[in-house]
Amino acid sequence: MIPGAPHRDALARPFRSLPARLCLLLVAACACSSAQVDVLTQHNDAARTGANLHETALTPRSVNQVGFGMLFKRALDDQLYTQPLVATGIQAGGGTRDIVYVTTVNNSVYAFDANDPEAAPPLWHVNFGTPADVHSADFGCLDINGNMGIIGTPVIDKAGGILYVVSLTRAGAAAGSGTGYTQRLHALDLATGADVPGSPVVISAPAFDPLRQNQRPGLMLANGMVYVGYASHCDKEPYHGFLMAYDTKTLTQVGVFNTSPTGSEASIWQSGQPPSVDPEGNIFVVTGNGSWDGISNFSESFLKLSPQLKLLDWFTPTNHFELDKGDTDLDSSGATLIPGTHLVLGGGKEGVLYTLDTRNLGHLGDEHALQHFRATASHLHSLVYWSSVKNGNLLYVWGQRDKAKVYKLQGNAVAETPLTERDIPNEGHPGAMLSLSANGDKDGILWAAIHATGDSWHESRPGVLYAYDADNIRHELWNSLQTPARDDCGRYSKMAPPTVANGRVYLASFGSENIGTGQFCVYGLLPPAGAASLAAPSAVTAAVAAKRLMLTWAPVQGALVYRVLRKSTLDPKAKTVAMGLTKPSYTEPAPERGESMSYSVVAVAADGRVSPVSGSATIASPKRKEMED
């Protein structure tokens, strides 16, 4: 096999060459569904607010120990450092599905059905080859304690049907040699996992070392480009902070920004958060320890870049040399833009939160910041912003070795006394990774993923997921260790925020061991006691055209997904041939050589309730002699 070439077990594209009549049937069958929420990038949006403002099923009233819990989980081939992404309404495997995409440090990308507990096998899985690992060089630490193939969260272009992801592969390299490693940018078809034409491309730039440069921040789509950022592994030199831009259509490299071109270091790691983008397409990143001269080298700084990666503006704190000397990176939270304003917020390992004006970052000196104050005791790794009808504009933080806190934004400043805080601080590194769900400005829930005990800096630790009332975080709604036999997701995935979409919470996990295992867990509402059963699907109809069978049925009230069962004269026992279908239609190759096939359908509710099996629709192909005549 060519090094870096993926192994594929993928489903073919559906609906090719369907006649117009069947396409119209499909459109009619799909018209009944309501809009669903996609999470196509880490921390939800280009501003990196971490909020889904279109969640109606999960509310402070419905999320509790009795009514909410784990629906299913999926085992993977290694650890996940990335946030699960969700794309809805994807045509794959003969029907329409909502898909959750996850990656592992073993250079694997998986696509799973996002809804159906019974749809256990992946829709597709690709692997890009042997990854580098912590022993590939003398890194000297265990920040990542095993393989390190895919570290940065991918990004999805749903309109284009593409997932972008970066792999790090080893080909012919001896352990510890530091040579023979390659990073590639892949553009994968959302439905099949296949590399699209022109993909992958090798990532390179002057002074770029593919082994030592850690593709830690999530990828970002903006301005017709995919942006790829870089940090280091364990500060092992030589390395620089890089941000590179690639044309989304051709994957041609169109820009490279080096944060320390005549020096060293100044990485962009941001605890896995991608760059943020303002409405004009300008890009904001924050850098860590390294060289600084205020001319071409910009460690410990907020940077504003043009879409083509030209430096437009910057801010560096007064104490940047002390931050560098103490390994107190400024960039541990990344940059969060506050919607509807010209504010950018961010903080680092010192726990100091900076508020800056995106129109004038001010260059060197704290006096140029709109505000700075110690918002948490030490490392600040995750910010979430929400505008509440009850409490106004809110900023959520839960730093290392500190309590969860909520600050109120007033005008161009953050009130320096917390509006609310929890009573008990967490232990150890790195603090919580936060997400928020709400129905606009109400029914907010703050979701916090964190280790349950100890310190996650150099080892895997047991994890816990919390849900708090976002208007009063002192009110805990639920946590995953209240009913551990049902809800425990295993070891904490360091710095991977939970993903909330369409009544589901998707949580990355390191699995059951310190290295080498991984999984993700899916939480949602549980069946209420005495809930009525779903009605069986009706009006099941089969038709054949252009050697394709089209199965349709009437939508079922309360159904989230459908399963299709098939039996035939050659295989008379009914088998499930499709699961997780979000539209009342399914297509596959038509029967041939005189075979007769019978299809039936089952509806499944969001809470897992299953309907009776529908009546069947039968279709038969002509016998061989009839076909010859």
Amino acid at 326: G
Find out whether 110 and 125 touch, Cβ atoms under 8 Å: yes
For the chain, percent of residues with pLDDT exceeding 90? 85
Mean pLDDT of the chain: 92
Give the 3-state secondary structure of residue 233. Answer: coil
**CA-to-CA dists, residue 192 to 51, 91, 202, 525, angstroms:** 29, 10, 22, 30
Q: What is the pLDDT of residue 87?
A: 98
Share of the chain above pLDDT 70, in %: 92
Q: pLDDT at position 623, please? A: 55
Cβ-in-10-Å burial (0-12, 13-18, 19+) of 563 comes to buried
Q: What is the pLDDT of residue 17?
A: 36
Please state, in angstroms and rounded to a whole number, the distance separating the CA atoms of residues 84 and 149.
16
pLDDT for 436 equals 98
**What is the model's pLDDT at position 221?**
98
DSSP state of 368: G
Instruction: Report d(CA 522, CA 566) in Å as an integer.
Output: 28
Distance of CA 76 to CAs 104, 105, 122, 628, Å? 8, 10, 10, 49
Tokens of 188: 């994968």
Phi, psi of 270 (to 5 degrees): 55, 30
pLDDT of residue 489: 98
pLDDT band at 25 (very low <50, low <70, confident <90, very high): very low
Is 60 exceeded by the pLDDT of residue 31? no
Residue count (the chain): 629
Q: Tell me, what DSSP letter sits at residue 271?
A: G
Q: Could you give the angle at the alpha carbon of 175 between the alpha carbons of 172 and 178, nearest 5°?
A: 80
For the ranges 13-17, 93-97, 498-502, 553-557, the lowest mean pLDDT is seen at 13-17
CA-nearest of 221, 219, 216 to 239 is: 216
The whole-angstrom separation of Cα 433 and Cα 447 is 8
Mean pLDDT of the region 561-587: 94
Residues ≥6 apart with Cβ < 8 Å to 530:
none
pLDDT at 122: 98
Q: Which residues are 220's β-sheet partners?
A: 227
User: Are 278 and 337 spatial neighbours (Cβ–Cβ below 8 Å)?
Assistant: yes
